[in-house]
Amino acid sequence: MKKSNEKTLESLKNLWKRKEELLGVLVADHPVLIGTVYDTLRRCGNPTCHCAQKPSHLQTLVHFKKPSGQHCCHFVRQEDADALRRAMDLYRQWREAMREFQTLQTRERKLLKVQIQKRGIQPK
């Protein structure tokens, strides 16, 4: 029983260490961009151009998100593109860290619940 407790304590310490690392990502003060940034082709506006039928030569960066369930799309200036892509990557990292943090919390809760059940006594 003592060996089992040591193993559980070691597992909990590892969980806490990883959660502390993830908290660094979750509370970092970096700007994040919620949504997706991607390149798309669009029409140039000239009605006689071949792109009037099928967009083919005017590449544009677009920011797409769904605030409150509605689709929202904005064109992005080229000079803002790199900063927005970095911010989008930081948001992706934040989402992954949050998902892993929640998984670790669930595992931690299960380990602690097993410990309290092992210590429980039955009244006579």
Question: Average of pLDDT values for 112-122?
Answer: 82
Per-residue tokens: 99: 């998902």
Q: Is the pLDDT of residue 100 over 60?
A: yes
pLDDT of the residue at 53: 77
CB 65 within 8 A of CB 72: yes
For residue 24, the tally of other CB atoms under 10 A from its CB is: 9
For the chain, percent of residues with pLDDT exceeding 90: 30
Average pLDDT over all residues of the chain? 86
pLDDT of the residue at 17: 96
Q: Does the pTM of the predicted model rise above 0.75? A: no
pLDDT of the residue at 117: 83
Where are the chain's structural domains? 2-119
Q: Where are the alpha helices (DSSP H) in 1-124?
A: 2-26, 81-119
